Amino acid sequence: LNGQPVTIRTYSDAVRAGLVYLSEDRKASGLFLDLSVASNISALDLRKLTTPLGLLDRRAEAKQATDLVERHGVRMGGIETQVSTLSGGNQQKVAIARLLSVGPKVVILD
Q: Which residues contact 105 (CB under 8 A, 6 or more apart)?
A: 1, 2, 17, 18, 19
pLDDT digits (tens, 9 = 90+) for 42-85: 998 888 899 999 999 999 999 999 999 999 999 999 999 999 99
Is 49 inside a domain boundary?
Answer: yes
Q: Is 2 helix (H, G, I), strand (E, B) or coil?
A: coil
Is 4 inside a domain boundary?
Answer: no
Angle (CA) 66-53-65 rounded to 5° is 10
Compare 38 and 109 and report the one with higher pLDDT.
38
- Average pLDDT value for residue range 21-34: 84
Give the range of the structural domain holding residue 39, as residue numbers without chain letter: 26-102
Determine the pLDDT at residue 58: 95
Q: What's the mean per-residue pLDDT of the chain? A: 92
Residue 69's Cβ-count burial label (10 Å; 0-12, 13-18, 19+) is buried
Facing residues of 21 across strands?
Answer: 108
Amino acid sitting at position 47: R
- Average pLDDT value for residue range 12-25: 90
Q: Is 27 helix (H, G, I), strand (E, B) or coil?
A: helix
pTM of the predicted protein model = 0.88
Is 1 inside a domain boundary?
Answer: no
Work out how many domains the chain is built from and give that number.
Answer: 1
Residue 34 — very low, low, confident or very high, per pLDDT cuts 50/70/90? very high
Determine the pLDDT at residue 99: 94
Is 83 inside a domain boundary?
Answer: yes
Looking at the chain, the number of H-run helices and the number of E-run strands are 4, 2
